[in-house]
Amino acid sequence: MNSIRVVISDDHKMIREGLKQLLELEGDIVVVGEAGDGIECLEQLESKKPDVLLLDINMPRMGGLKVLEKLREMKHTTKVLILTIHNEIEYLLKAVEIGVNGYILKDSESDLLRRAIFAVYRGETYIQPNMIPLLNEKLEGKEDITSSESLLTKREMEVLKLITEGLFNKEIAYNLSISEKTVKNHVSNIFRKISVSDRTQAAVYAIKNNIVEVL
């Protein structure tokens, strides 16, 4: 696999330098550009054309959410992963509403950041698992949905639990001793049965319906 091309947009140079060193350790991610504000970020995206943008929310000249809005208006193909200090539900909901591909916090472990980058690169939505309950809070009060047990098979329930833990299809296959193709089929069936379109929505469903426990 070719290295994932990343642009880092954060107004703190030390954070950008630290992230660059961290991400490039394994050789499968290369940082092709950096930006210290929103305007420079848009310029970097135009010139570098990265696969993934690591985007801070608080930046001078143009904030991260405004940058995200601009990119969606332009129908830009770069995947956007917000990396922020903000764990408030309002920021998360706004980002999801605009169309962010991923959202994690700056105090996350490096393995989680890499997992998120690879997930959004593959076209998946990735939200830090311990932030999903924040989304769940906003779902409270909505009409009840059909019991999960009557919708999903035992194996599909097992797959859904592992999706909620943030595991990729390959990791789920390893954990359950089945093929990755079989996992993909289970995931498709789960999405269809519970009427969701991505893994984040599936995880929210699982938490809301007490299929998994939130630690």
For residue 159, what are the contacts with CB-CB under 8 A and spacing of at least 6? 172, 176, 183, 186, 187, 190
Task: Quick: pLDDT tens for 66-99.
Answer: 999 999 888 888 999 999 998 887 888 888 888 8
**What is the full DSSP assignment across 34-90?**
EESSHHHHHHHHHHH--SEEEE-S--SSS-HHHHHHHHHHTT--SEEEEEES---HH
Sheet strand arrangement including 79-84: 29-35, 4-9, 52-55, 79-84, 102-105, 126-127
Q: pLDDT below 50 — which residues of the chain?
A: 141-149, 213-215
Domains defined along the chain, listed by start: 4-130 (3.40.50.2300), 139-209 (1.10.10.10)
- DSSP H or E segment with residue 133: helix 132-139
Q: Compute the distance between CA of residue 90 and CA of residue 129 in angstroms, rounded to an integer.
A: 17
